[in-house]
Amino acid sequence: MLIADDLDQLLEVLPHSIRYSLEQHPNCKNLIEIVMDLGRRPEARFPGGPEYLSHRTVSWYDLDYSIKRVGYFSGDNRSGIERTLHRISSIRNRQGSVVGLTCRVGRAVFGTISMIRDLLETEQSILLLGRPGVGKTTAIREIARVLADEMEKRVVIIDTSNEIAGDGDIPHPAIGRARRMQVACPEQQHQVMIEAVENHMPEVIIIDEIGTELESLAARTIAERGVQLVGTAHGNYLDSLVKNPTLSDLVGGIQYVTLGDDEAKRRGTQKSVLERKASPAFQIAIEIHQRDNWVIHEKVHETVDQILQGHQIFVQRRQMDGSIVSITCEESGAEVHSYKKTKNRSAFEPGYTFDTKLPNNIMHDKKSGNTSSPVEEKVNISSKQKYLLIYPYGLNLHELEAVIHMLDLPLALSREVGKADVILALRSNLKLNNKLRQIAKTRRITIYTIHTSTLPQITRALKKMLEINSVAFIRWSEFCLGKTQEQIKALNEAKWAIEKIVIAKKQPVELLSCLADARKIQHDLVKFYNLRARSLGEEPYRRLRIYPN
């Protein structure tokens, strides 16, 4: 990864005392920005934190010295140094005088977008999200160069603050053959975006910092004309953009829809629901959490629909370590993160065991007057046995306990829905209880329903629970005990494939090739799930194929 920063040219505009301190600093190459505020000590900011550069405070003379050596400050109080990527931003008082400067180091980093090279080749519009300073502009500059030089596309950059291609009339070499259109004032950015399409026949338009409703509308207009868009916007997560009324049009916008009675009952929702208004202007969204850690949403329209419906979201995370890119699939979403932090430890979490004394939330057998139900007695006998906690709603509790006791099932009843692992409810009663459905949705608790509270239906539902939640009874730490790192990696791959593809989607899946001992323990795991599998291929590329029931 090559880095060009032209740091010497930025140091030349600083007062001598500040410049000398930075030139002698051992970490000068990692400098992020210099802050000069009137009456305060000058400060340099590094990845590890800020440091003072001098014991003397910044004076009017120091500010005037720097202002005279930079270009004209535009309407957004930004300026730059010609033929460089550095940005100098000013803070003014009520009279319009400059009382503070932020001198930010601009760097052209080549090789930053190798993680998403395949996404650029799809020719779909890409939106980059992230907090200020995380590297969105650096990434979009490199994207412009790759599209123009390596993919030979006609690229036009809308450079409102001259951050992408630098200050001055001649653009910085970091953008390659891409053309740059400057914007006289930030309020005209949306007009220049439309002008670029109408006058210069671009195949790709690149926009930095889309921040107003007019710019969102212009981006949608450009996308509808068949031009590929690459843009950035502030926001850490895609769901925060969906909830932003100014920028939500970038991902399709949202609107309230009133459902009919029958449709609301079928969906199990209220009559007024949020739905996506139109197709997104950007088909791909990328959350830049760190410079080498990006989250990819390859189908924005599907992700937005899942966010609005409150469904579980799975995202693709790409990380770069040197020249190696690793791709993983994981659960995401703000609601999911908060749930993981607050949810009580489940009775079937790996390594969890019941105490010999049950907590108060386990139901008692009121008919017999005993302090423990048949289920509790079984728990007391074997304190190491693990149980699935059920919250019953609208059911005959005596019949439910009778089935559990008769079949000797590893189940227990809970008085509190928040501590339950699953909910078993009578369908007619559940339709009338929106609050219970909302709690289950928020806490990600699965709801099982039956038509009538009869022994056959209760028995069938309980067996189905145990079949689906059988993975809960694995002591994963014990399962991996004595295994090598390669064998544990093979086990985790098989577990993820079974849960997310074979069981969830009812589709067969092929695992990666591995050695015979790793395939053997993968076969053992498949048998635990009551699934079928067979080995395919020849050594050393022999692998497992798992089939749904």
State pLDDT tens for residues 88-129. Answer: 999 999 999 999 999 999 888 888 888 899 999 999 999 999
Q: Torsions phi, psi of 86, nearest 5?
A: -70, 150
Domain assignment of residue 368, yes or no? no
Q: Is the pLDDT of residue 375 over 50?
A: no
| Residue type at position 424 | L
Confidence of residue 367 (pLDDT cuts 50, 70, 90): very low
Backbone dihedral region for residue 444 (phi beyond 0: left; psi -120 to 50: alpha; all else: beta): left
Residue 369: predicted pLDDT: 39
Tokens for 514?
């591995």
Q: Coil, helix or strand for 105? A: coil
Percent share of the chain, pLDDT over 70: 86
Q: Is the pLDDT of residue 352 over 70?
A: no
Residue 344: predicted pLDDT: 35
Burial of residue 390 (number of CB atoms within 10 Å: 0-12, 13-18, 19+)? buried
> Are residues 393 and 297 part of one domain?
no
- pLDDT per residue over 525-534, tens digit each? 888 777 889 9
> Are residues 393 and 324 part of one domain?
no
Q: Is the pLDDT of residue 490 over 70?
A: yes
Domain assignment of residue 277, yes or no? yes
Last-in-domain residue among 472, 503, 536: 472
Tokens for 376?
């509790």
Percent share of the chain, pLDDT over 90: 35
* Residues 287, 313 contacting (CB under 8 angstroms): no
Closest CA to 244 of 271, 215, 223, 221: 215
Query: Highest-confidence range of 213-222, 329-338, 427-436, by mean pLDDT?
Result: 213-222
Last-in-domain residue among 106, 135, 168: 106
* Residues 289, 295 contacting (CB under 8 angstroms): yes
Rounded to whole angstroms, the Cα distance separating 24 from 22 reads 5
> Are residues 501 and 435 part of one domain?
no
> Are residues 461 and 332 part of one domain?
no
Instruction: Tell me what the mean pLDDT of segment 468-494 comes to.
Output: 72
Rounded to whole angstroms, the Cα distance separating 154 from 181 reads 13
Q: How many CA atoms lie within 13 A of 368 on its CB side?
A: 11
Strands (DSSP E) along 277-387, which ranges? 284-290, 293-297, 313-321, 324-332
Rounded to whole angstroms, the Cα distance separating 307 from 215 reads 24
Backbone dihedral region for residue 382 (phi beyond 0: left; psi -120 to 50: alpha; all else: beta): beta
Residue 62: predicted pLDDT: 94
**Owning domain of residue 424:** 374-472
Instruction: Tell me what the mean pLDDT of segment 206-231 comes to.
Output: 92
Q: Find residue 167's DSSP bridge partners.
A: 82
Rounded to whole angstroms, the Cα distance separating 232 from 303 reads 18
Confidence of residue 468 (pLDDT cuts 50, 70, 90): low
Rounded to whole angstroms, the Cα distance separating 173 from 144 reads 11
Domain assignment of residue 363, yes or no? no
Higher pLDDT, 333 or 228: 228
Tokens for 145?
């160069």
Which CATH number is 509's domain given?
A: 3.30.1370.50
Burial of residue 134 (number of CB atoms within 10 Å: 0-12, 13-18, 19+)? buried
- pLDDT per residue over 287-345, tens digit each? 999 888 999 999 999 899 888 877 767 788 998 887 788 888 876 644 333 333 333 33
Instruction: Tell me what the mean pLDDT of segment 26-49 comes to.
Output: 93
Domain assignment of residue 443, yes or no? yes
Which CATH number is 71's domain given?
A: 3.30.450.90
Domain assignment of residue 360, yes or no? no
Query: Highest-confidence range of 345-354, 400-409, 494-503, 531-540, by mean pLDDT?
Result: 531-540
Domain assignment of residue 349, yes or no? no
Q: Coil, helix or strand for 388? A: strand
Say what the pTM is: 0.61
Count: domains in the chain: 4
Which CATH number is 159's domain given?
A: 3.40.50.300
Higher pLDDT, 245 or 366: 245
Q: How many CA atoms lie within 13 A of 66 on its CB side?
A: 33
| Residue type at position 355 | D
Per-position DSSP letters for 25-50, written without gaps between them? -TTGGG--EEEEEBTS--EEEETTEE
Q: Is the pLDDT of residue 361 over 80?
A: no
Residue 335: predicted pLDDT: 39
* Residues 20, 77 contacting (CB under 8 angstroms): no
Mean pLDDT of the chain: 82
| Residue type at position 153 | K
Rounded to whole angstroms, the Cα distance separating 511 from 479 reads 19
Higher pLDDT, 444 or 489: 489
Q: Coil, helix or strand for 480? A: coil
Per-position DSSP letters for 199-214, written without gaps between them? HH--SEEEES---SHH
> Are residues 456 and 506 part of one domain?
no
Burial of residue 75 (number of CB atoms within 10 Å: 0-12, 13-18, 19+)? exposed
Instruction: Tell me what the mean pLDDT of segment 349-377 comes to.
Output: 35
> Are residues 293 and 213 part of one domain?
yes
Residue 93: predicted pLDDT: 94
* Residues 216, 240 contacting (CB under 8 angstroms): no
Residue 381: predicted pLDDT: 29
- pLDDT per residue over 380-396, tens digit each? 323 344 678 888 888 87
Domain assignment of residue 356, yes or no? no
Residue 475: predicted pLDDT: 52
> Are residues 203 and 140 part of one domain?
yes
Residue 467: predicted pLDDT: 64
Last-in-domain residue among 106, 127, 148: 106
3-state secondary structure 500-522: HHHHHHCCCEECCCCCHHHHHHH
Residue 324: predicted pLDDT: 84
Confidence of residue 163 (pLDDT cuts 50, 70, 90): confident
* Residues 419, 361 contacting (CB under 8 angstroms): yes
* Residues 363, 414 contacting (CB under 8 angstroms): yes
> Are residues 230 and 138 part of one domain?
yes
Which CATH number is 446's domain given?
A: 3.40.50.2300
Domain assignment of residue 134, yes or no? yes
Closest CA to 155 of 227, 247, 56: 227
